Structure 1
Amino acid sequence: MSIESPRKPSDPFFRRLWFTGALVAVLMVLWKTLLPAIESLWMPPEGQSRIVTARGDLAADEISTIELFEKSRDSVVFISTATLVRDLWTRDVFSVPRGTGSGFIWDDAGHVVTNYHVIENASGATVKLADGRDYKAALVGASPAHDIAVLRIGVGFKRPPPVPIGTSHDLKVGQKVFAIGNPFGLDWTLTNGIVSALDRSLAGNGGSAIEHLIQTDAAINPGNSGGPLLDSAGRLIGINTAIYSPSGASAGIGFAVPVDTVMRVVPQLIRKGKYLRPALGIDVDQQINERLTAIAGIRGVVVLRIHAGSAAEKAGLKGVTLTQQDMKLGDIIVAVGNKGVDSVPKLLARLDEHQVGDVVQITVVRQGEKRELSVILQPGN
């Protein structure tokens, strides 16, 4: 019997096995060595810049909004106010910051329009323009009933342009609106939204109501007060005046004094320093009115007293007659023109739509019968 000797390493099988193992080892070394370079071809190393993706053209509405802001920005100003304080120890009087707000350029004479509550109880105000220039402002006039005030600054050169004037009587719910101001002191901020509602009322200074307000969902926050509310053409349609918010920040309900009101009030403030409301020359009271109209079972405004020589007396209006035993109602105003009146603030607002000297038709109920009377409006307080 013959016995086969074991295969030597030089046999073909072992050579192929050895070669394969060596090749695998070399490939593994190469893979570990070249892997970072391979990854860098399709994945940028950490910390390196990314390739910028082309954006393309801006949308048409974006372009129009940018143009609106760029054209309107210089017409908007930042207002800071101060008040005088006396040191109880040294008895020295010094000025301390009081608050901030917004405003806008009204004309080429340097008049600036803002809210009355922005400058109320302030001892001084500073107006900052969009180009960074600061000016001490003088108070020209104010109408607390409309929450409007006019300041004046002495701009010698590079006068900022007045904001273009629009109209508010033809506004529609759903129109786009834009607000520019300084919310929380953040200079020249643009927000946008729509007209949410029209002809709103809001309690103003001393409990009187500000009527005909524009309601908007454009974000309005503290510091926006006094800034312009613009339409999509960049025209002034209102002055941002208030927000409805339990937290004090924007909750999607803001209010603006309509520009039609501004156009009636501001020229008078510039000419006379105050606004004289059109009036009838009668005494009315909201609390008494609510009780008396409830007793009479009619919605309107009870004329309590007629001033001697007033427009109301000349037109033949009748007030309340008092006797020892009883009180007799005279006229109850239920409409001015063709617009209904159901409260004292509403009556004042209806009259405020006219000017002193205008002839208006007053509808009254006297002893259960309706009557039409013509009244020439006189200056009020």
Structure 2
Amino acid sequence: MRKYFKNNFKFYLTILLSGIIAGIILAFADNFSIDKFNGKDSVINRISAFAGDNQRKLTDEEKLNTKLYKELSPAVVNITTTTLKYDAFFDIVPSNGSGSGVIIDPSGYILTNNHVIENATKLTVTLNDEMEYNAKIIGTDKSNDIAVIKIEPKTTNLSYIPIGNSNNLEVGQKVLAIGNPFGLQSTLTTGVISSIGRTLRSENGRIIQNIIQTDAAINPGNSGGPLIDTQGQLVGLNTAIFSPSKGNIGIGFAIPASTITTVVPDLIKHGYVIRPYLGVTGTLPVNQHLASVLGNPEATGILIQEIIPGSPADKASLKGGNQLVRMGRYNILLGGDIITLVDGKKLTNSSILATYIESKRPGDRVKLTVIRDNKPKDITVTLEEPPKKR
């Protein structure tokens, strides 16, 4: 009996333990499958929830950026140029380039850089909506690297950007640049005014004054695009970058709106900028050696070599040189006036004088302080438009 009970007990215990183990295995397997499925479902749900929750509100600054971009980017165009060049076999072949431009009037006037369109035999303007137009050059100004071109749009309702005031810009003020860097149309970058009052030498050697420096990213292809303030007005025309790598390193330059508003009316009306002339030629900076030769070691300024007959300088009785001498490898004329100041502005080279005179208009009067016979003398000159070339 005990043996029978003992054997049965072992039998039932084995069945019981086997059932428990089988139940645990099945339960684990079932839970593993459910957890695995629920894991995938959970991931999917989390992704969906994240996508829904990710529709966050824009900050005030982001709202302003997107608003200005939507409103103003249609007024920024891509300019493709065709120029003729010689290849290695001295055959004339076409060459293409590109840059940016900004519509400044709904009738189709477009502002850009002179270097963007210089020597072009064909200009093609592509608008923001991909419409293409042939353009013609209205006027150019190498001295300020500004040009105006025009298209004949199919609508009189073109988007345009109004020209603002750059005289009150402050360092740290936010600005936006829109252009076509590397051909990537309607690219927006943002930054601040890094500095004001910079100077930049144009391709013809003239000094462009009051240049705006910005850290808004400007790259090749941005030239001719607008620099915009938060009021949606053009305060500068992006024109150059400082970069050893020819890419953006946060130092970009723009021609100020104050220069644009002075130049553009002449370009539209005459095709060129009406600038006055003084009528002095061959000026030399007076260094220490030349000053000692002139018998006035303390003299500084620029020495007048020649006066153009009938010019404003001639009419004001400025004096040119009359004594030919040789200094080193050069022949120079001595005996002329040394101009030291123009309207109180110190002169150290002829570029300063030329740039100042170019900032005036025909009919303006300037006061020159000169040294004549080792004595200072003030002479007022009324500037005139240069005589037309025949």
- Give the TM-score, by structure 1 length: 0.86
Q: Does 1:247 align with 2:245?
A: yes
Pairs aligned (count): 375
2:315 matched to which residue of 1?
A: 314
Question: Would you say the 8 A contact 1:177–1:192 is kept in 2?
Answer: yes
Aligned-pair distance for 1:49? Answer: 8.7
1:335 matched to which residue of 2?
A: 341
2:139 matched to which residue of 1?
A: 141
Q: Which moved more, 1:226-235 or 1:166-175?
A: 166-175
Q: Does 1:302 align with 2:303?
A: yes
Q: Which amino acid aligns with 1:237?
A: V
Q: Which amino acid aligns with 1:300?
A: G
2:225 matched to which residue of 1?
A: 227
Aligned-pair distance for 1:100? Answer: 0.5
Aligned-pair distance for 1:48? Answer: 8.1
Distance 1:46 1:232 in 2: 39
1:379 matched to which residue of 2?
A: 385
1:281-313 deviation per Cα after TM superposition (whole angstroms, max 9, x unaligned):
11145xx42657864555433322222222122
2:357 matched to which residue of 1?
A: 351
- Give the % identical residues: 36
Q: Which amino acid aligns with 1:227?
A: G
Q: Which amino acid aligns with 1:32?
A: F
Question: Would you say the 8 A contact 1:140–1:269 is kept in 2?
Answer: yes
Aligned-pair distance for 1:6? Answer: 8.4
Question: Would you say the 8 A contact 1:78–1:129 is kept in 2?
Answer: yes
Distance 2:59 2:325 in 1: 76
Distance 1:275 1:97 in 2: 29
Structure 1's 84 and 49: CA in aligned 2 closer, same or farther, altered over 3 A? farther
Aligned-pair distance for 1:227? Answer: 1.2
Aligned-pair distance for 1:47? Answer: 9.6
Q: Which moved more, 1:348-357 or 1:337-346?
A: 337-346
Q: Which moved more, 1:48-57 or 1:266-275?
A: 48-57
Q: Which amino acid aligns with 1:69?
A: Y
1:7 matched to which residue of 2?
A: 6
Aligned-pair distance for 1:233? Answer: 1.0
**Local SS of the residue matching 2:144:** coil
1:41-97 deviation per Cα after TM superposition (whole angstroms, max 9, x unaligned):
5433999895432443211111112121222122221110112468999x8x77x34
Structure 1's 298 and 218: CA in aligned 2 closer, same or farther, altered over 3 A? farther
Task: Map 1:197-236; keep pairs closer than 5 Å.
Answer: 197-236=195-234
**Local SS of the residue matching 2:268:** helix
1:260-282 deviation per Cα after TM superposition (whole angstroms, max 9, x unaligned):
11112111111112223222111
Q: Which moved more, 1:25-34 or 1:70-79?
A: 25-34
Q: Which moved more, 1:72-81 or 1:14-23?
A: 14-23
**Local SS of the residue matching 1:279:** coil
Structure 1's 47 and 380: CA in aligned 2 closer, same or farther, altered over 3 A? same
**Local SS of the residue matching 1:8:** helix
Aligned-pair distance for 1:169? Answer: 2.3
Extract unaligned runs of 5+ from structure 2: 292-296, 327-331
Distance 2:341 2:8 in 1: 120
Question: Would you say the 8 A contact 1:293–1:302 is kept in 2?
Answer: no
Distance 2:192 2:46 in 1: 45
Of 273, 282, 285, the residue aligned with 1:289 is: 285
Question: Would you say the 8 A contact 2:305–2:334 is kept in 1?
Answer: no
Question: Would you say the 8 A contact 2:125–2:132 is kept in 1?
Answer: yes
Distance 2:86 2:305 in 1: 45
Aligned-pair distance for 1:218? Answer: 1.3
Q: Does 1:28 align with 2:28?
A: yes
Structure 1's 44 and 293: CA in aligned 2 closer, same or farther, altered over 3 A? farther
Aligned-pair distance for 1:341? Answer: 3.0
Question: Would you say the 8 A contact 1:304–1:320 is kept in 2?
Answer: yes
**Local SS of the residue matching 1:43:** helix
1:189-210 deviation per Cα after TM superposition (whole angstroms, max 9, x unaligned):
1112122222222232243333
Q: CA RMSD in A?
A: 3.3
Aligned-pair distance for 1:328? Answer: 3.4
Q: Which amino acid aligns with 1:289?
A: P
Structure 1's 107 and 46: CA in aligned 2 closer, same or farther, altered over 3 A? closer
Q: Which amino acid aligns with 1:128?
A: T
Distance 1:280 1:8 in 2: 130
Question: Would you say the 8 A contact 1:301–1:344 is kept in 2?
Answer: yes
Question: Would you say the 8 A contact 2:181–2:187 is kept in 1?
Answer: yes
- Give the TM-score, by structure 2 length: 0.84
1:195-234 deviation per Cα after TM superposition (whole angstroms, max 9, x unaligned):
2222222232243333332121111111111111112211
Structure 1's 362 and 121: CA in aligned 2 closer, same or farther, altered over 3 A? same
Q: Which amino acid aligns with 2:158?
A: P
1:7-66 deviation per Cα after TM superposition (whole angstroms, max 9, x unaligned):
334268767655543443343333334332342454339998954324432111111121
Q: Which amino acid aligns with 1:356?
A: P
Structure 1's 364 and 87: CA in aligned 2 closer, same or farther, altered over 3 A? closer
1:152 matched to which residue of 2?
A: 150
Question: Would you say the 8 A contact 1:330–1:367 is kept in 2?
Answer: no
Structure 1's 14 and 205: CA in aligned 2 closer, same or farther, altered over 3 A? closer
2:263 matched to which residue of 1?
A: 265
Distance 1:175 1:263 in 2: 21
Distance 1:106 1:215 in 2: 22
Distance 1:116 1:86 in 2: 22
Structure 1's 366 and 256: CA in aligned 2 closer, same or farther, altered over 3 A? farther
Distance 1:244 1:324 in 2: 42
